Structure 1
């Protein structure tokens, strides 16, 4: 009996122990679940999501940038017919083009201030959509109220052409300064470089298409109204698409950087304080040597190539190449730069290369430098003004310029994204704005040199690529934005682990 009672007691003890273990296990699970729930509520803003609308936003922005560049370049590809139809000089056509960088410089700070307000991105894009409609309609106005054969047509048309081009130039900063911020607001970290690439390529493609399509649409001077009507239709169509649906921001941010940007934009600051903050932020950027080196390097590459691309006809004329051939060389270079940007953008978003921006930039610049050297040896420069050292053909010149375009285009999105990483948590639009501002200053300087000094300009391109390589080599790219995003993603897991340890 005694032994049986002991056995019964042991069985009861085992049952109670097992029950307690089950209860403790259940309690442990409930604590973990409670911790997860609590952390979920505490870090609700860290539950990042992406939305398919991001592709629509990118498409609309790229389309607007495409139109802006095409409208800005309206009269340069058809300079001959424009002189005849409007009875204007070559200097007037150059001024219509140069309104772009001239207006860009004073306008950019205002675009930056508007962009960094609550829903500032959508405000800028709406302006980007509406202003070109007004500008293209104003360019058409003289054709509606006055006959092109009238004596008054010249005076009226020139005035409205200048007003239209100035308005189009006003949207230039929006086209260039918003690209990195668009990527941050809508795209996750592993898609940002490609997004920046496609945002940049909208403007690049517009320029390439303008120089290829417009001369064929306007083979005669009296065809110019047809082109202006087409531009007005383009502007109205894209404006309708933009106003019909263009969300201000995604319901949930796609990354920690986007979340930080959203929080900053919700803080209401008076305009004068915002202006002071802008000046302070610029000062902070200027104190960062790596930031300055990357900005100057990127601006030099963009500015020099922008001015050099318009000189192919002059550079290659002594070697017997026609303007048509030079135009196709320029088009091939632009297409190659588009392909290069897309290719490197894809590579930079791969896990293996997300922290290798400097390596990718240096490889691209070095290869660009090497093939630019071969091009220099194939044409006349200040060093060998009479005869080039290497023989050339249409095929060799086309291939060399295309390869140069490929690798120069490849660096463009990398400069934007590198600067965003270096200066985080400052908004991406800050470094982008400084970069494109200096880019336009350099473009204006080289445009002033270019017309009468094409041999010097030819050599300067080669030297500037070498200078860019040296500056990028000396710069130190830190991935502050990626580090912060990684830390934010790991915080919930670390808090759960700490709660479990305390049980």
Structure 2
């Protein structure tokens, strides 16, 4: 049975995810104004952004551990909303406090408090990036899960896109507080929404797998280490997670650095900025479009591997066109193909659409390959590889000739596409739900589904959990 409350839950979660990314990118689009307002250099402003991936890596295991408890999603969401609200307050404290109270930080207007706020907000990243498949499995039916996952995932990227408009709110250093006040209002709204209503689950489960999960005692969901090793020993899932995490992380780092990658002789900083914004918006459109298509068109259902492979091969080809249209170290100083701002914009838009469309498919196929491992665990692998790849890319890019970075993206896209060939596609969750229905209405623990998950070693007992993946 589907309940209307699911859309409120999705909206509240998506708003939290949106604001987390919006807060994360706060100061980068207004870097010069931030430097003047706080009296710091560009490295300090860069660190405000870099706290995101730095804090994400160690916090993610804690979030996965929290999610192992039955009905943990509301606690994770409320914790995330509270941390975001605290971050919004901390970032405003230097504005409220007189210099005499700031002591040794008076000359930099309490930038240490701003850093602390960014750290708290960074800790929310895993709380909104790992749970989307779990939220969709708990609240949405079988023909809505990909759509719900796509919306929850893309809400985070929408925060980055809207963040590009910060200069309109804070055109000068004196306007920085206006931007922070706007964020404080948003944080307060989100906190109220999740505190007022965000239950563990709907009144009745929306699918057979959700029914079974609701019927399990909490002890069956406590084996975090066992889940981790089960997922890690699944070669198909590990290949899929590496493919999705690597290309997503590399692409995100690339699109965020277009203003420094693109040659100034062809594009000015404003044009490069608009290309970056277009890539993010295209990814959001691609991600939110693929969900309804897969959920509603029977010929696309349970074809995730083929869809991902097609999308990534297409992305490789489009990326190659972009690379050949720009200078390439050791090959051409002018580009092999003719180019223009319009042509580059079109290519970037297509790349964004393809990348955005692939991400929800990676999430959902990861859940199917690892079932009955928790959805948050499988998503956690993907987002962790994403952040590690992005950190690595950001670390090596300063030492790589900028005319070679586009080629790096092309080879990464091709390499991760080829990895998909080695994924053995299997829809374990669908198989379990089909077995449950074949049991003749035996309830959430009917033959097949209930027995598979309750027998023997409990939660990890689904046959062939590793063997033929």
- Match for 1:116 among 64, 68, 87? 68
Within 2, Cα distance between the matches of 1:494 and 1:114? 31
Alignment of structure 1 residues 423-438 onto 2, 5 Å? 423-438=370-385
Contact 2:24 / 2:121 at 8 angstroms: preserved in 1? yes
Residue 474 of structure 1 is matched in structure 2 by: 422
Residue 134 of structure 1 is matched in structure 2 by: 86
Contact 2:261 / 2:405 at 8 angstroms: preserved in 1? no
Gap change, CA 1:156 and 1:263, over 3 Å in 2: farther
Residue 263 of structure 2 is matched in structure 1 by: 317
Residue 100 of structure 1 is matched in structure 2 by: 52
- Match for 2:363 among 387, 401, 416? 416
Contact 1:194 / 1:346 at 8 angstroms: preserved in 2? yes
Contact 1:179 / 1:199 at 8 angstroms: preserved in 2? yes
Query: Structure 2 regions of 5+ residues with no counterpart?
Result: 444-469
- Match for 1:69 among 21, 32, 42? 21
Residue 119 of structure 2 is matched in structure 1 by: 166
Contact 2:133 / 2:363 at 8 angstroms: preserved in 1? yes
**1:401 has 2:348 as partner:** yes
Deviation at 1:383, TM superposition (A): 4.2
Deviation at 1:315, TM superposition (A): 2.3
**1:207 has 2:160 as partner:** yes
TM-score (norm 1): 0.84
- Match for 1:459 among 407, 411, 432? 407
Contact 1:107 / 1:170 at 8 angstroms: preserved in 2? yes
Deviation at 1:186, TM superposition (A): 0.4
Residue 291 of structure 1 is matched in structure 2 by: 237
- Match for 2:207 among 233, 240, 255? 255
Residue 333 of structure 1 is matched in structure 2 by: 279
Contact 1:308 / 1:450 at 8 angstroms: preserved in 2? no
Residue 445 of structure 1 is matched in structure 2 by: 392
Contact 1:76 / 1:93 at 8 angstroms: preserved in 2? yes
Within 1, Cα distance between the matches of 2:418 and 2:368? 20
Gap change, CA 1:356 and 1:140, over 3 Å in 2: same
Q: The residue matched to 2:245 in structure 1 has which SS?
A: helix
* Greater helix share, structure number: 1
- Match for 1:179 among 132, 135, 146? 132
Within 2, Cα distance between the matches of 1:383 and 1:343? 40
**Cα deviations by residue, 1:106-133 (Å, 9 ceiling, x for unpaired):** 1111111212213200000111111111
Contact 1:307 / 1:450 at 8 angstroms: preserved in 2? no
Q: The residue matched to 2:70 in structure 1 has which SS?
A: coil
Within 2, Cα distance between the matches of 1:155 and 1:234? 26
Alignment of structure 1 residues 26-45 onto 2, 5 Å? none
Deviation at 1:156, TM superposition (A): 5.0
**Cα deviations by residue, 1:49-83 (Å, 9 ceiling, x for unpaired):** 11110000000000000000000111111111111
Q: The residue matched to 2:201 in structure 1 has which SS?
A: coil
